[in-house]
Amino acid sequence: MWFKNWAYWSNIGTMYDLPPLGALRAFEVVCRTGGIRAAAREIGVTHSSISRHMGELETWLGTALFERSAARRSMELTSAGKQLGLIAGEAFQDIARGVAAIRETRRHNEVVVSTTQSIATRWLLPRLHIFNERFPHIEISVRVDQRPIDFKGDQADLAIRMGRGKWPGLNATPLMGDYLAPVMSPALKDQYPFRSLDDWLSRGPLLHDLDPDANWKIWKDRFGPESLDMNKGPQITSSDLVLRAAALKQGVALGRLALAMDELESAQLVRLSDDYMHIEEAYWVVTPLNRKRPNYVDGFIDWILEEGAALQKVMARKMIEA
């Protein structure tokens, strides 16, 4: 089947006697903008390049598209030029509308979630089966994106982000808080004879999260020790990778416990201190302003907020028990 389709499209040039498409596109822009220089600016080429395209198109057609007279300073189309201008304009508009429709095609009842790799891997994806069992008719698509939130540039219905919730022009609803505490692999802990957390932080390998809300300086300012060397140890750009490195016995991480919960429950990681720092509103559900949402998107957001509240209660209880 693919071979037949390929053969069809490969022979399209012989089935349709088309002019050079680059020249035709340039001509359409000239007609729409009213001149060669304006067309050159829109396409991003030199005006001499546009002029060459016009000559190429006229040669292929065997007829003039522009009136050429020393007495005329403005560009005038011949009757053939006007006719081709209308045809080309309608054709390119149809192509533009068709491409836009393809790009905007969405499955029915699909919710598109934009989030970071850390949240997707450690929090959202492990829970999606719960949602899918309750709402099998709703499709969830997850897009990993570290860039600033921009609903104009993609089809996401909502975003889940770490941060402080002050994103201009966006709705931000608190999802849950989090706790920071030193964590490491129990196997690595057994390799070193350090007796206290201060010993570990002063002498052991450290892992640094580049997230400004989860770096060792925050811990040092509140709990010490004064000898903690902030320049020691690798810097890692993802909270998920920091925790993975800790589980792989590469050092001590100041871990986000909401993201480390599975490893803590399975003893792949252990806390090194009863002390912790509370980030009150660490994660947010972000949506665009003034965009009407389908009911199934609101339903997914409600479910996300319920899951966040449930994990918040579990973490709070564990902090008390510790």
Q: Are 168 and 288 members of one domain?
A: yes
**Does 156 share its domain with 211?**
no
**Interval 48-73: pLDDT, tens:** 889 899 999 999 998 999 887 655 55
In a domain, 6, yes or no: no
CATH, residue 301: 3.40.190.10
Instruction: Give the least confident one: 35-49, 175-189, 297-311.
Output: 35-49
Any domain includes 7: no
3-state secondary structure (DSSP) of residue 18:
coil
The answer to whether residues 39 and 30 touch, using CB atoms and an 8 Å cutoff, is yes
Do both 21 and 66 map to the same domain? Answer: yes
Alpha helices in 34-127, H assignment, sequence order? 36-43, 47-61, 79-103, 117-119
Say which range, 145-154, 177-186, 287-296, has the weakest mean pLDDT.
145-154
172 and 286 part of one domain: yes
With vertex at residue 301, the alpha carbon angle to CA 115 and CA 138, rounded to the nearest 5 degrees, is 90
| 271 beta partners | 183
Determine, yes or no, domain membership for 4.
no
Per-residue pLDDT reduced to its tens digit, 267-297: 999 998 889 999 888 999 999 887 788 899 9
- Same domain for 258 and 215? yes
Percent residues over pLDDT 70 in the chain: 88
In terms of Cβ atoms closer than 10 Å to its own Cβ (0-12, 13-18, 19+), residue 238 is middle
Q: What is the mean pLDDT of the chain?
A: 85
Query: Is residue 1 in some structural domain?
Result: no
- Considering the domain architecture, whether residues 184 and 314 belong to the same structural domain is answered as no
Q: Which two tokens stand for residue 126?
A: 């492990």
DSSP 215: -
Say what angle helices 36-43 and 47-61 make with each other, to 10 degrees: 110
Strand partners, 315: none
Among the residue ranges 76-90, 102-116, 127-141, the one predicted with the least confidence is 102-116
Of all helices (H) and strands (E), which one includes residue 160?
Answer: strand 158-162
Same domain, yes or no, for 50 and 183?
Answer: no
Peptide bond into 193 cis (omega under 30): no
Which of 189, 241, 235 shows the shortest CA–CA distance to 216?
235
Domain enclosing residue 165, as ranges? 110-176+281-321
Q: Distance (Å, rounded) from C-alpha 270 to C-alpha 258?
A: 14
Task: Flag whether 2 is in a domain.
Answer: no
Distance CA 50, CA 36 (A): 6
**Residue 247 pLDDT level (bands cut at 50, 70, 90):** very high
